[in-house]
Amino acid sequence: MWFREKIRRSFQENREAPRRGSTYQFNYRRIWKLAVLLTGGVSLIPLIFITAVNYEAMRHAIESEMIFRTTRVVSNTCLSISFFVNERKSALNFIVHENTFESLNSRERLSRILGDLKRSFGGGFVDLGVVDAAGRQRNYVGPYNLGGKDYSGQKWFRQVLDSGMYISDVFLGYRKVPHLVIAVKGMSRSGAPYVLRAALSTTPFETLLSQLEVAGMGDVFMINHEGILQTPSRYHGGVFENIYLPVPKKRPNTEVLEGKGPLDEDLIIGYRYIDDTPFILMVVKKKKECMKPWSCTGLKLIVFLLVSVSVILTVILGTSTYLVKKIKIADEKRSASLHQVEYANKMASIGRLAASVAHEINNPLAIINEKAGLIKDFFTFGGKYAEDPKLMGLVDGILTSVKRAGTITRRLLNFSRNLQASVEPIHLREAILEVLGFMGKEAELREIKIHVDVAQDIPVLETDRGKLQQILLNIINNAFAAVSDGGHIDIRSRLEKKDHVAIIIADDGCGISKEDLIRIYEPFFSTKSGQGGTGLGLSITYSLVQEIGGSIHAESELGKGTRFTITIPIKSEKTKT
Amino acid sequence: MSPIKVLLVDDEEELVSTLAERLALRGIHADWTTRPEDALRRLEVCKYDVAVLDVKIPRMNGIELKKEMEKKCAHTKFIFLTGHGSEQDFREGSQEAGPEFYLVKPVNIEDLMEKINQLLGR
């Protein structure tokens, strides 16, 4: 949260300020928030929206592609298997049409036909048998001894006689190896039906299916309508095992649907019922594997989005903070200069008022002085009351008081005169004492001890008297506010680098905290807000010091006191007004 | 040695009259007036050694009066008095008479005597 704290601090406002002036009514944090929200919203919302749309569209495209591919694999494989079965079925049909029942009952003929079939069709045919209408196997050629076997009670035999053709599930039967049976019906010359029955090894299917490379840890196998595996599968069980997936509904075309695996993983299942057979061809893929290319791209998209959002946010936060800070500083400067002008005008008015009051008082004062002087002259020159110490004392008292009043009016006049910029020779010690003269009474009342020590080697300064005195007045005034009754203020000066003078004003007052110390020259920063402080004193002091070409530095410790060091050039080259 | 003749010009009658009386007690022949025209007229009759002028007199300021008076009587020396107003007063007055002959009210009579003697080289 350091970032939040940083932002909060950068717009920290003097909460006292709005109560004093109309210039400080802006809420910079609100402006900042508004700028960040607006620019952030306008740039981020479209970006996030576009990315989300893109993400969805891509996922959709890859899913469609996956379904399309699965459908193609299922259809192609189904065609191959269909072709394989149909080819053999047709061959058997051809045999029953080309041969008579009698000739097929010849063992030699039948074994030649089996030999021809094996040669022509490659693998597949294992044996051949001829079953008469009563269900008895009349002739058999093959590796097993199945001659004379009675099939009359079996369902398949009935089915061949009824529909002319039968293809069995894969089964072990007497042979104890997985195989399937294709049987076709023929008619003897006497009109009695008979059946040509061939057993086919499932090896060619298995070879065909196992050779298919299917993406996404895919598996291709066949099940029968009861859900029993007809060919071995890679991941879904061996032959004759019951598959855990539900048997899909019969549909004329290839279908692709989604299902759940035994570990609750998402599966893509493509299937097709193979026409005229009890088989269903199934292609099962793991969805996660199939979607891998997409998740990879999706991840890239998300990373891109996150990077973009952070870059945009950083830029927006940075520029907003920078701009609002600039606005704030500009406002503060403008407001400070307005106040400075106001302050200068106020001081000028006070100066004029002081001058006119002093001037008006000065005239009657001068008359009193002369009248009293004349009385004294009469006493002195007339000799009559010259020896009367009481009367002489009274007259001297009047004259001394007039002199004191004269000093006060002169000081007031000096003060007003000093408000006008002019470089003149100044004795630092006298300037300091003159300023202290304004505060003598307060110091006496509060028993504040002031120690002034101006080094002997300080030359006569050539600078603006008014500005220098105002600087000293402000700092000493602050020192008075900081010290408690009976406190100490120490004013020293020393030569710096030959052409500068450092004036050090130290007090043993309440001190300034570290956080406040860096802000004391800011306009409107005041810790005396409840006591009539304007927060402008040090701000104006700072400008005045700069105007006479000097610098100001403050050190402070809470509870121990504060020390201001003002360094000014002995010869002020120019004073800005 | 004839007594020193001084003309005091200030709009405050109470001030100049008292000041004249005090100077007289110190052996100086001091005349006074509150009006500049009167001052010029008196100058024709009596040649004054020193004129003490207020910088600010109604109708004519001290500097102008000095210039007029110099035309009539070249040997008269001048001292300026001021209630010490503006910076301009200070500059003009001290330039015209020299900073040491520019006195701020209320004036110490001994200071004034010293300046008069200084001007006349006595």
| pLDDT band with cut points at 50, 70 and 90 for residue A576 | very low
Report pLDDT for A306.
94
The nearest CA of chain B is from the CA of A390 a distance in Å of: 22
Which CATH number does the domain housing residue A432 bear? Answer: 3.30.565.10
Mean pLDDT of A213-221: 82
Q: Give the number of domains in chain A.
A: 2
pTM beyond cutoff 0.90 = no
Percent of chain A whose predicted confidence (pLDDT) is above 70: 90
Contact: A366, B12; criterion CB under 8 Å: yes
Q: Is the pLDDT of residue A571 over 70?
A: yes
Report pLDDT for A289.
85
- Cα dist from A169 to A81, A146, A151, A251, whole Å: 14, 20, 17, 20
Report pLDDT for A532.
52
Domain that holds residue A460: 424-577
| pLDDT band with cut points at 50, 70 and 90 for residue A34 | very high
Establish if B66 belongs to a structural domain: yes
- With contacts defined as CB-CB under 8 Å, which chain B residues touch A369? 105-107
Report pLDDT for A10.
61
Establish if A219 belongs to a structural domain: yes
Strand partners, B6: B30, B50
Contact: A362, B14; criterion CB under 8 Å: no
Within 10 Å of residue A446's Cβ, how many Cβ atoms?
A: 14
More confident residue, B86 or A173: A173
Report pLDDT for A22.
41
Q: What single-letter DSSP state applies at residue B61?
A: -
Establish if A456 belongs to a structural domain: yes
Contact: B86, A417; criterion CB under 8 Å: yes
Report pLDDT for A19.
41
Asked whether the beta carbons of B43 and B8 are under 8 A apart, the reply is no
Establish if A482 belongs to a structural domain: yes
Establish if B113 belongs to a structural domain: no
Q: Is the pLDDT of residue A416 over 80?
A: no
In angstroms, the CA A494 to CA B102 distance is 35
Which residue from A minimizes the CA distance to B19?
A370
Report pLDDT for A577.
40
Q: Does A362 touch chain B (CB under 8 A)?
A: yes
| pLDDT band with cut points at 50, 70 and 90 for residue A263 | confident
The nearest CA of chain B is from the CA of A427 a distance in Å of: 18
Report pLDDT for A559.
87
Contact: A363, B86; criterion CB under 8 Å: no
More confident residue, A493 or A177: A493
Establish if A90 belongs to a structural domain: yes
Lowest-confidence segment of A457-461, A547-551, A573-577 by average pLDDT:
A573-577
Asked whether the beta carbons of B104 and B56 are under 8 A apart, the reply is no
**Average pLDDT value over all residues in chain B:** 84
Establish if A126 belongs to a structural domain: yes
Asked whether the beta carbons of A414 and B85 are under 8 A apart, the reply is no
Establish if A227 belongs to a structural domain: yes
Domain that holds residue B77: 5-98
Among A315, A299, A291, CA closest to A39: A315
Residue A146: how many CA atoms within 13 Å on its side-chain side? 21
What are the E-state strand segments in A264-416? 266-273, 279-286
Chain segment A436-484, per-residue pLDDT in tens: 887 888 888 888 899 998 887 888 888 887 788 888 988 998 898 888 8
Q: Is the pLDDT of residue A189 over 70?
A: yes
Q: Is the pLDDT of residue A44 over 60?
A: yes
Angle between helices A292-382 and A389-418 (to 10 degrees): 150
Chain segment B13-48, per-residue pLDDT in tens: 999 999 999 999 999 999 999 998 888 888 887 788
Chain segment B88-97, per-residue pLDDT in tens: 666 666 676 6
Contact: A362, B105; criterion CB under 8 Å: yes
Which residue from B minimizes the CA distance to A406?
B106
Q: What are phi and psi of A266, to 5 degrees?
A: -75, 135
Q: Which residues of B touch A (CB under 8 A)?
A: 12, 14-15, 18-19, 21-22, 25, 83-87, 90, 104-107, 109
| pLDDT band with cut points at 50, 70 and 90 for residue A314 | very high
Q: Is the pLDDT of residue A18 over 60?
A: no
In angstroms, the CA B101 to CA B67 distance is 16
Q: Give the number of domains in chain B.
A: 1
Q: Does A403 touch chain B (CB under 8 A)?
A: yes
Contact: B25, A377; criterion CB under 8 Å: yes
Q: Does A402 touch chain B (CB under 8 A)?
A: yes
What is the SS3 assignment for A72? helix
Contact: B18, A367; criterion CB under 8 Å: yes
- Strand A561-569: give its sheet, edge to edge: A449-454, A488-496, A500-507, A561-569, A551-557
> Given the DSSP bridges, would you call strands A255-260 and B29-33 parallel, antiparallel or unpaired?
unpaired
Domain termination residue (choose one: A271, A290, A309):
A290
Q: Does A407 touch chain B (CB under 8 A)?
A: no
More confident residue, A11 or A436: A436
**Average pLDDT value over all residues in chain A:** 84
More confident residue, A385 or A396: A396
What are the E-state strand segments in A381-465? 423-426, 449-454, 461-464
A399 Cβ contact list (under 8 Å, min separation 6)? A369, A372, A373, A376
The nearest CA of chain A is from the CA of B25 a distance in Å of: 7
In angstroms, the CA A503 to CA A472 distance is 9
Asked whether the beta carbons of A179 and A171 are under 8 A apart, the reply is yes
User: What type of residue is A510?
Assistant: C
Asked whether the beta carbons of A489 and A505 are under 8 A apart, the reply is yes
**A356, A363, A369, A370, best to mutate vs chain B, most B CBs in 10 Å:** A370
Which CATH number does the domain housing residue B34 bear? Answer: 3.40.50.2300
Contact: B15, A417; criterion CB under 8 Å: no
Question: Is residue A125 exposed (0-12), middle (13-18) or buried (19+ Cβ within 10 Å)?
Answer: buried
Mean pLDDT of A382-386: 76
Instruction: Report the sign of the C-alpha dihedral through residues A350, A352, A355, A361, in that order.
Output: negative
Domain termination residue (choose one: A262, A290, A318):
A290
Q: What are phi and psi of B98, to 5 degrees?
A: 90, 135
Report pLDDT for A20.
42
Establish if A432 belongs to a structural domain: yes
Q: Is the pLDDT of residue B85 over 70?
A: no
Report pLDDT for A153.
87
Q: Is the pLDDT of residue A168 over 50?
A: yes
Domain termination residue (choose one: A290, A325, A348):
A290
Which residue from A minimizes the CA distance to B105?
A366
Q: Is the pLDDT of residue A23 over 60?
A: no
Chain segment A101-147, per-residue pLDDT in tens: 989 999 999 999 999 998 888 768 889 999 998 899 989 998 888 87
Which CATH number does the domain housing residue A237 bear? Answer: 3.30.450.20
Mean pLDDT of A425-442: 84
Asked whether the beta carbons of B92 and B82 are under 8 A apart, the reply is no
| pLDDT band with cut points at 50, 70 and 90 for residue A194 | very high
Query: What ipTM, to 2 d.p.?
Result: 0.87
Distance from first CA to last CA of chain B, Å, rounded?
Answer: 11
Establish if A507 belongs to a structural domain: yes
- CB-based contacts of B111-115 (< 8 A; 24+ apart in sequence): B112/B19, B112/B23, B112/B52, B112/B79, B113/B23, B113/B26, B113/B28, B115/B79
